[in-house]
Amino acid sequence: MGNLRDQIFNGVINGSLERLRGEMGAKYKQKKGNRFFTGGITYEISDGKMLPDGVQFEISSKIPQEVLDTKKLNEKYFKEMKKLMTSKDKSPTDVKMENIIHSTNISEVKERDYIKCTYSYMEKELYTEKDIAKTVKQVQSGEMSLPEIKGVSTLPGRAVLHMLRENIHKGASANIADLIKSNEAVIKNYKKDATATVK
């Protein structure tokens, strides 16, 4: 039964993140896979996974090498981004710089540095007994409705999945907005410095 529960929870979590990817692709510019593009930077939202006491997923953004042409500047950019991201109300549990190398064809190899933020949401951040009771009451009174879910026969069970779906979406939306705003702030400083140097 535990395995079925994990399958249902994983389906809800990843359905919520997929919904967010679709929204970001529609708002900005859709790219292949889990990625979208805005402000000269590519972003990616990973699949989510269950933890023993919550949920985890990653969001990442490419370090804009069009502006930063050396490894030293990439590392400086990363440090500034990490400082901003760890100061947010909901900060990542981990922020690291990853180097990804991929080949676009036989003769061309591209190397890119990415900022990867790992987010963990504990169960108590996603729903509480009080929240479940409130949702159940609203459904019973006709104020709201919940869809039928295969393998989930109880109203409290569907209420949990509803809150999981909505709160993962809400949290991940805020997290990606934080990453976009932080990139905008840091890259603005680099462009300002570059202009000052030219003058």
Burial readout 91-105 (b: 16 or more C-beta within 10 A, e: otherwise): bbeebebeeeeeeee
- Could you tell me the pTM of the whole model? 0.87
Count of domains observed in the chain: 1
Q: Which residue has the tokens 């540095």?
A: 113
For residue range 111-168, list pLDDT tens digits in order.
688 999 999 999 999 999 999 999 999 999 988 888 887 778 899 999 999 999 999 9
| Residue 95 structure tokens | 């922020």
- Please list, in sequence order, all residues whose beta carbon lies within 8 angstroms of the beta carbon of residue 172, skipping any fewer than 6 positions away: 16, 17, 20, 45, 57, 59, 119
| Residue 57 structure tokens | 């997923």
For residue range 46-98, list pLDDT tens digits in order.
999 999 889 999 999 999 877 676 677 888 999 999 999 999 999 999 999 99
Provide the domain limits for residue 123: 2-198
Phi-psi sector, 151: left (phi>0), alpha (psi -120 to 50), beta: left
